[in-house]
Amino acid sequence: MFKLTQYFSTKATPQSQPISGSTQIPNSAGGYTWSVDDWVRLDRFLILGSEGGTYYISEQKLSIDNAEALVRCLAADGPRVIARIVEISEAGRAPKNDPSIFALALAAKLGDDATRKAAYAALPKVCRIGTHLMHFAEYAQAFGGWGRGMRKAVAGWFNARPANELALQLVKYQARDGWSTRDLLRLAHPRAASPSHDRLFAWVTKGALPEGAAADPALSLLVAKDALARLSQPREAANVIRTHRVPREAVPTELLNHAEVWDALLADMPMTAMIRNLATMTRVGLLTPGANATKNVVARLGDNTRLAKARVHPVAVLAALLTYKSGRGARGSSTWSPIAQIVDALDGAFYATFKSVEPSGKRMLLALDVSGSMSWGTVAGVPGLTPRVGSAAMSLVTAATEREHTIVGFSTNLVPLTISPRQRLDDVVAAIDRVPMGGTDCAQPMIWAQQHKVDVDTFVVYTDNETWAGSVHPAQALRAYRQARGIPAKLVVVGMTSNGFTIADPNDAGMLDVVGFDTATPPVISDFARA
Ligand code: CA
């Protein structure tokens, strides 16, 4: 018999060709995959952004492709887009808020009437701090000028919050990325909601304490900032900081070299600021092994309620852990001796920042794409956090809750990995860095499990979906596995970049696309496995 099926079969198609009769399209690596629908792509963009591009796609092209998908979603259902932006931004599900702000600005400028209205109504929910508002203004400028809707929304942002809360925003975020609160007030020219608001606006536009400031309790922070500028003794400065709960942004740089000053700042420091400043507080000598401040910091990092309330994202914790542990600043100019208890506390906080997972109890194969393309670029622009490293960290969150799991890595072939949630994340990262890289064959996990007669209920593949090196498509390998083992196995594809591809067959209900580093992803994986 002439084996015609070696050239044409719907069960085993080389990845360099599309499965016959399917809706597969070419990916960027010379293979064929499906395209994710625009709503999945919107989620990928809102959570992963497009900063730095991918191994195959430039930052520019990736940003344009994502924006085009966003425009298509807006045309299909603008208010649904706004609801999604608010949902992801407010819950702190994304490492960075910029993609959400960008999407909101685009919707506010290019959406239909209902969409624009919804976008401006959502402004205070998505732009929660002054920096966000300045980024919104920058993005909105690219899509049009300052219309009436925009002026009203920005004016409302300033007027809606109580004067003492607005004072904190104005002191902390005076200018960012070419914009200042002064610019925003000039363009929006709000009518002040109260005499205190009026004084705050005057302070911003004139740059000096207005008349009546000393007698207005809402301006006490501004008065304290003014006083600090004239102090050089750390003890006096610390007193002012404690009394008026002054944030770090309002403290003159030369005072920030004193442990005493940082001790005063730490008393009232928000969680995200604390995580960002661990290295500095160690360098100036406030955080030392066994010090009260160290115990305080470790206790706060272990407080899950506090972490959730502050919307601390796991990527922020992971970035802090990798930097802090290294003992060296990004530019290498500053150094510190990392404290082991703090590294351990950050490690624990990483797991706590994901939404809590109810284990499915299913047998899971967690398969990390360790191919070359996964080691290029960064997740959300965090230095050193490649999709490859990010995948390992993500898989450990599921591994920590699902008892019956095996972790493997694959490129052209499959390699068992010995990483576990009992190891510290920085050791895991180092272990992953040592795994050799090769081409990409996302069918390997299913092929391996079939060959080795491993029972798997759910395959979880962490990848950029740029598969090309296999003689059979992943979806076909999964169907072959189901048939061979008699297990209705499922496949979850964890997209680690914001490209438009997926190895999941959209017509197979046993396959699901989720987004890497969405804090809601681990419970979604367990729920899908359980169903
Ligand atoms: Ca690859």
268-313, pLDDT tens digit by residue? Answer: 999 999 999 999 999 999 999 999 999 999 999 999 999 999 999 9
307 Cα: distance to centroid of ligand 1 (angstroms): 34
464 Cα: distance to centroid of ligand 1 (angstroms): 7
Contact at 8 Å (CB) between 111 and 144?
A: no
In this prediction, residues 68-83 reach a mean pLDDT of: 98
pLDDT of residue 106: 97
441 Cα: distance to centroid of ligand 1 (angstroms): 8
Reply yes or no on whether the pLDDT at 222 is more than 90: yes
232 Cα: distance to centroid of ligand 1 (angstroms): 55
pLDDT (tens digit per residue) in 310-328: 999 999 999 999 899 999 9
411 Cα: distance to centroid of ligand 1 (angstroms): 7
61 Cα: distance to centroid of ligand 1 (angstroms): 18
Three-state SS at 458: strand
407 pairs with which residues across the strands?
A: 366
In this prediction, residues 501-507 reach a mean pLDDT of: 96
pLDDT (tens digit per residue) in 448-462: 999 999 999 999 999
371 Cα: distance to centroid of ligand 1 (angstroms): 5
450 Cα: distance to centroid of ligand 1 (angstroms): 23
69 Cα: distance to centroid of ligand 1 (angstroms): 23
Mean pLDDT (the chain, rounded): 95
The pTM assigned to this predicted structure is 0.94
Reply yes or no on whether the pLDDT at 98 is more than 80: yes
CA distances from 85 to 66, 79, 360 (A): 14, 10, 29
At 436, the pLDDT band (50, 70, 90 cuts) reads confident
388 Cα: distance to centroid of ligand 1 (angstroms): 10
301 Cα: distance to centroid of ligand 1 (angstroms): 35
Instruction: Give the span between the Cα atoms of 62 and 42, in whole angstroms.
Output: 12
Radius of gyration of the CA atoms of the chain, in A: 26
420 Cα: distance to centroid of ligand 1 (angstroms): 23
372 Cα: distance to centroid of ligand 1 (angstroms): 5
Reply yes or no on whether the pLDDT at 31 is more than 90: yes
458-463 vs 490-495, strand pairing mode: parallel
- Under the phi-then-psi rule, with left for phi > 0, alpha for psi from -120 to 50, and beta for the rest, what region is 210? beta
37 Cα: distance to centroid of ligand 1 (angstroms): 21
Instruction: Give the span between the Cα atoms of 141 and 187, in whole angstroms.
Output: 12
Reply yes or no on whether the pLDDT at 420 is more than 90: yes
469 Cα: distance to centroid of ligand 1 (angstroms): 9
414-416 vs 405-410, strand pairing mode: antiparallel
In this prediction, residues 56-77 reach a mean pLDDT of: 96
494 Cα: distance to centroid of ligand 1 (angstroms): 14
pLDDT of residue 271: 96
pLDDT of residue 10: 78
Q: Which residue has the tokens 């499965």?
A: 19
Portion of the chain with pLDDT greater than 90, in percent: 89
